[in-house]
Amino acid sequence: MRQDHIASRHYADRDTALVMTYLGQLVADGHAEWTELDNGDVELRFHSGQCFLLASQTITRLA
């Protein structure tokens, strides 16, 4: 899935939209990669090793 698709999605909550825009810029700058999962959540993996699950209401650090 194209990475810009995740950042350009419509988010009803303004704060969520701001966070996703910022994270999208980190992805675009080459600091991380993200993947949309089958359930709509997003896995964000930084090249430094941290991994996060971005759900509709929460962000969970996986590694």
Per-domain boundaries in the chain: 3-61
CA dist 8 and 47 (Å) reads 22
Q: What is the pLDDT of residue 1?
A: 43
Per-residue pLDDT averaged across 43-58, rounded?
Answer: 95
Q: What is the pTM (predicted TM-score) of this model?
A: 0.82
20 pLDDT band (50/70/90 cuts)? confident
CA dist 9 and 50 (Å) reads 23
Residue 63 near residue 49 (C-beta atoms within 8 A)? yes
